[in-house]
Amino acid sequence: MVNKNLKQTMGREWQKVRKNFHYPQLPQPKLIGEDSNGSINIESLEITVSEPFVNGLEKKGIAPEESLNEVLTH
Predicted confidence band of residue 1 (pLDDT cuts 50, 70, 90): low
Quick one: residue 16, left, alpha or beta (phi over 0 = left, psi -120 to 50 = alpha)? alpha
pLDDT tens-place string over residues 4-58: 999 999 999 999 999 999 988 999 999 999 888 999 999 999 999 999 999 999 9
* Phi/psi-derived region of residue 61, left when phi > 0, alpha when psi is between -120 and 50, beta in every other case: left
Report pTM: 0.85
Tally of structural domains, the chain: 1
Integer Cα distance of 65 and 73 in angstroms: 12
Q: Which domain holds residue 26?
A: 4-73
3-state SS, residue 72: helix
Taking the C-alpha atoms of residue 50 and residue 10, their distance in angstroms, rounded to an integer, is: 11
